[in-house]
Structure 1
C-alpha cells in the first residue's frame, strides 16, 4: 500500500476514533479493518497491522484508567494470561475459519448483548457477586482469546460481557481491565503476524499514534460520564456492529 501525507492523516484520524470507542466499550477494529481494506490493504495484512495500534492504545488507556484509580491488576492479570493462551490458538486459526459463518455467529451473540445492555442495566452499572466456577471462567476467557487472536474486531464486546459475568465488575472498571487483557494478548498475536509477514509497520505506527490519542480521550470520558452513559453508547455501537456484520455477509 502506498503511503502519502493525505493517506497518513486519514489513517491517523481513523485511529483516534477507533481508540476512543475501543477504550469506552469496543468496536474500533470494525472501523479500522474495512478502512484499511478500502485503501487496498489485504485483509490478513490489515488484521496484523491493526495489532500495533491495539497494543499501544490499550496500554495508554490502561495507564489513564490506573491514574483514575479504576484499574484492578489483581483481576486483570490472571484473566489476561488465560486469554493470551486462547489468542495463540486463534491467531494460528486465522486463515482457516469461514468468515461468513463467523460474522453471523458474532452478530447473533452481540445482538443478545445489546438486548441485555438495554433491558438489564443492573448487570452493567453496578459491581456484583458472581457464581461462576473457576473452570467456567477459564473456558469463557480462553474462548474470547481464540476469537481475539483470530480477528480482534468486536472482541471488546465479549470481554465486557465476560467481565460482567465472571468478575462482577461495572462497565468502567471492566473497560479498564479489558485494556490490560487485550494489550497483553495482542503482543503475542502481533509477534505471530509479524513472523508471517503480515504487519505493515509504518501504517501500524500511524494508526497507533491516533489510537493512543483516542484511548486517553475515551478513558477520561468514561470515568467522567459514568456507567449509564457508557451503557447506552456501548448498546448503540453493538447494534450498529451487528448490522454491519450481517450486511457484510449478505452483500
Structure 2
C-alpha cells in the first residue's frame, strides 16, 4: 500500500471518526476495515492493524471517562479478564471461520438490538438489577471476547448489550467500562496478529493518533449528552452497520 501525505491525512481523519463512534457506542471498525481494504491492504492485515489503533484509543477513552468520574474499575476489570480469555480463542480462529455466515448472523443480531434501542429505551437508559447469574455473565462475555478476537468490527454493540442487559449498567457507565474491556483484550490480540506479521505499524500509529482524538471527543460528548443521545446515535449506527454486513455477505 503506497504512503503519501494525502493518504496519511485520510487515515488520520477516519481514525477520528472511528474513535468517536467506538467511544460512544461502537461500529468504528466497520468503517476502518473496509477503508483499509479499499486502500489495498490485505483484509487479515487490516484486521490486525486496526488493533493497534483500538488499544491506544481505548486508553485515551478510558482516561477521559475516568476524569469525568464515570468509570467503575471494580466492574470493568473482572469482565475484561473474561473477555480477554475469549479473545485468545477468537484471534486464533480469525482465518478459519466462514465470514459470510458470520456477517449474516451478526447483522440479524444487531438489527434486533436496533429495534430494542428505539422501542425499549428503559432497557438502556436506566441502571437495573443484574438478570444473569455469574456463570451466565461469564459465558456472555467469553463469547463476546471470542467475536472481538476474531474480527472486532461490531463488538462494541455486543458489549453494550451485555453491559446493559446482563450486568445492569447504563449506557454512559457501560461505555466507560467498555473502553477497559476492549483495550485489554486487544493488547493480547494485537500481540498475536503482530507475531504472525499481520500489523502495519506506520498505518496503525497514524490511525491510532486520530482514534485517540476521536475517543476523547466521544467520551466528553457521551458524558455531556447522557444516555438518550447515545441511544439514538447508537441505533442509527447499528442499523447502518447491519445493512453493510448483509451487503458484504451477499
CA deviation string 1:73-108 (max 9, x = no partner): 000000000000000000000000000000000000
Aligned match of 2:210? 210
Q: Distance in 1 between matches of 2:22 and 2:37?
A: 19
Query: Superposition RMSD on alpha carbons, in Å?
Result: 0.5
**What residue number does 1:237 align with?**
237
Question: C-alpha offsets along residues 110-141 of structure 1, whole Å, 9 cap, x if unaligned?
Answer: 00101110111011101111121111000000
1:142 aligns with 2:164: no
| Correspondence for 1:173 | 173
Give the secondary structure class of the aligned counterpart of 1:197.
Answer: coil
TM-score, normalised via structure 1 length: 0.99
5+ residue gaps, structure 2, are none
* Residue 66 (structure 1) aligns with: 66
How far 1:29 sits from its partner (Å)?
0.2
Distance 1:166 1:240 in 2: 25
Match of 1:97 in 2: 97
Unmatched 5+ stretches in structure 1? none
Aligned to 2:42: 42
User: How far off its partner does 1:167 sit?
Assistant: 1.6
**Residue 153 of structure 2 aligns to a residue in which SS?**
coil
Aligned residues: 250
- State how far apart, in whole Å, the 1-side matches of 2:164 and 2:222 are: 16
State TM-score, norm by structure 2: 0.99
Is residue 2:1 matched to residue 1:4? no
Q: Which segments of structure 1 move beyond 6 Å, counting only runs of 4 or more?
A: none
For 2:17 and 2:55, locate their aligned partners in 1 and report how far apart those are by CA, in whole Å. Answer: 16
1:121-176 deviations in Å (ceiling 9; x for gaps): 01110111112111100000000000000000000000000001222111000000
Match of 1:117 in 2: 117
Q: In the aligned structure 1, how far is the partner of 2:222 from the partner of 2:169?
A: 14
Counterparts of 2:31 and 2:166 in 1: how far apart (Å)?
28
